[in-house]
Structure 1
Amino acid sequence: MSPFDLVLTPRGVRFMGRLFPCTIGRGGIRADKREGDGATPVGRHRVVGMLYRPDRMARPADWAEPIGPGDLWSDDPRDAAYNLMVRAPYAPSHEALRRADPMYDIVLLTDWNWPEAQPGRGSAIFLHQWRRPGAPTAGCIAFRRDHLRWIAGRIQPGAGVIVPAPGLAALA
């Protein structure tokens, strides 16, 4: 493990010598992640991108890409663009990346089931802002706004996001 990896522990995510409280998926941590189970998948994932809302904040890192008004994420396992960013108008099931709430003001994209998604394994696992402390996600890892901004300003593409199996979480 590198000090530049994010490591999920029972007390939060460890990154660059700091520990950040976080929330995970409502389905807990699972090695057998499936579409719609709300679980955060076990594994060593990589950060492959960063998105941000340029109308709400300055670019958090030089490699961050702006979220535009028509940016969506395909979450339909039957769609050829499943688990990829797409643009409106878009008929298959999708999630808007430009939300009214601040949850996706910064999004770190991971390589979970990407870029060649296998239908049924679950769509994107993002690192994003939490709704409120303790509120679970649909499988993503979520942080307090100021903590996410601190992480976003320091993380590099390719950094690991390590999610140990539940029995091994204490060893991380």
Structure 2
Amino acid sequence: MRGELRLFERARGGDWTAVAGPFPVLFGKNGIAWGTGLAGQNEPGLRKKERDGRAPAGVFEIGQVFGYEARLPPGGDYRYHQVTEADVWSDDPRSPNYNRHIVIDPKNPPDNYTHEKMRSGDFAYHWLIEIRHNSDPPVPGAGSAIFFHIRRGVNRPTTGCTTMAQENLVKLITWLRAKRHPCYALLAANEYDKKWRSWNLPPPDAFGRSAPASLPR
């Protein structure tokens, strides 16, 4: 699936201001399904599951940034961890570390190490930004390892992550600041129109769409 990512900011109690974007993004090859985060987990309908090829919909905290480099790109100022051969993100629902970042001994690796290791020389994982779906605490089988990362091609969707061109991912990384409490909202357009007010999201007209008229009650 395709979408557009836009960055917005607001002071407490203030109006939303667009600061960057739109950036073309790709996500779940099989669409989206409700995830578990700040909002979305109580919605009726299809739920995100492990290996379903769907991206989690809802609102999520943005977690740590991971990468191959010793430090963030110039201008970056956010929680960062340089990954090595010892860094693993478990996607095995049977594991007590499911959907968690762990550091292991590469000389005595656990099961699924090859599949789960975070540094494999893959250009798409050069930078990763954690999308905190199913994190507090992780529910086995509800989906794991959801990140922003570099796209593998302009027409190649993902199995659940959100991907974009490298230069746009770097812009996102350098925009992040912990004091802003950054979050990610992923919604289909029709769901966004229903929920933006109650979820305190930017109004549709902030990115060139008209909000649907309210019917009298």
Q: TM-score, normalised by structure 1?
A: 0.85
2-structure distance, mates of 1:48, 1:73: 14
Q: Deviations over 1:125-163 (max 9, x none)?
A: 100001011201110000101110111111224311101
Higher relative strand content = 1
2-structure distance, mates of 1:119, 1:166: 29
SS at match of 1:128: strand
Query: Are 1:98 and 2:98 counterparts?
Result: no
**Which residue does the alignment assign to 1:129?**
150
Q: TM-score, normalised by structure 2?
A: 0.68
1:1-172 maps to which residues of 2 (within 5 A)? 11-15=3-7, 16-31=19-34, 32-54=47-69, 58-60=71-73, 61-62=76-77, 63-86=79-102, 87=104, 88=106, 89-93=108-112, 94-157=115-178, 158-165=181-188, 167-169=190-192, 171=204
Higher relative helix content = 2
| Residues 74, 92 of structure 1: 8 Å contact kept | no
Q: Which ranges in structure 1 are unaligned for 5 or more consecutive residues?
A: 1-9
Superposition deviation, residue 90 in structure 1:
3.1
Paired AA for residue 74 in structure 1: S
| Residues 83, 118 of structure 2: 8 Å contact kept | yes
| Greater relative contact order structure (CA < 8 Å, 6+ sep) | 1
SS at match of 2:149: strand
Paired AA for residue 29 in structure 1: I
Runs (4+) off by over 6 Å: none
| Residues 85, 120 of structure 2: 8 Å contact kept | no
Q: How many residues align?
A: 162
1-structure distance, mates of 2:123, 2:86: 17
- Cα distance change on mapping 1:115 and 1:90 into 2, 3 Å: farther
Q: Deviations over 1:79-99 (max 9, x none)?
A: 000011122343233512112
Superposition deviation, residue 115 in structure 1:
4.0
Paired AA for residue 13 in structure 1: L
Q: Which ranges in structure 2 are unaligned for 5 or more consecutive residues?
A: 8-18, 35-46, 194-203, 208-217
Larger Rg: 2
| Residues 84, 115 of structure 1: 8 Å contact kept | no
- Aligned-residue sequence identity (percent) comes to 27
